[in-house]
Amino acid sequence: MERFENILFDLDGTISDSYEGITKSVVYALQKMGIAPPRDRNDLRVFIGPPLRESFARYYALDRTQTERAVMLYRENYNAGGMLDCKPYDGIIDSIKLLHKSGKRIILATSKPENAAVKIIEHFGLTDHFYFIAGATSDSSRVEKADVIEYALASTNIDRARSVMVGDRLHDINGAKATGLKSIGVLYGYGNERELVDAGADYLAKTPTDIVRISIGR
């Protein structure tokens, strides 16, 4: 089992169960645009993880102008309180604290806007446990997961060979591969085993405890 010194974490679906805040904000944006949201809000789980612009364009066939308006409306609701309508997954806070205590550098690499990511990590009481927080820009200059990871790596100057990306969706696994990192796909988030295996995850974690076990090489 490999031993990693730098652990990069995705946020939504990996640290934070953000279903309520994200799906309510998507519904708000759709309704403001005169688009009927799905009757079952679970259908909007596909918005959790991927870049927001990508999801609005893909699932509602919006053109560029419409997509930008949808993102603006989403953030209007999300920034008004939706971002904190979330909760950490059972065991993830203890696992992050244990990794930090064992000397690992904990880095956040999320497609969520960086200012929102900082507030959520602070809300969970984890700020002091993170070596660096990397998120997306509010425009479209840094939104893809590979770009966020590359930004985190360049900002921290850490060894890629001793680093691993932890996430719940294929975007996390693809981003890790594109930047030369190993990856851990978590099975408790919004992806599934088939998605993560097909994307080429190097390891699978059923629980946050498994992330610790894999990261410290046990």
Catalytic residues: 10
How distant, in Å, are the alpha carbons of 86, 114, 210, 213 from that of 205? 21, 26, 5, 9
Residue among 65, 70, 66, 68 nearest 27 (CA) = 70
Beta bridge mates, 130: none
Look at residue 92 and give its three-state secondary structure: helix
Tokens of 3: 């031993």
- Parallel, antiparallel, or unpaired: how do β-strands 6-9 and 16-17 relate? unpaired
Tokens of 121: 């990590």
Residue among 191, 206, 208 nearest 7 (CA) = 208
Report how far residue 62's alpha carbon sits from residue 68's, in angstroms, rounded to the nearest whole number: 9
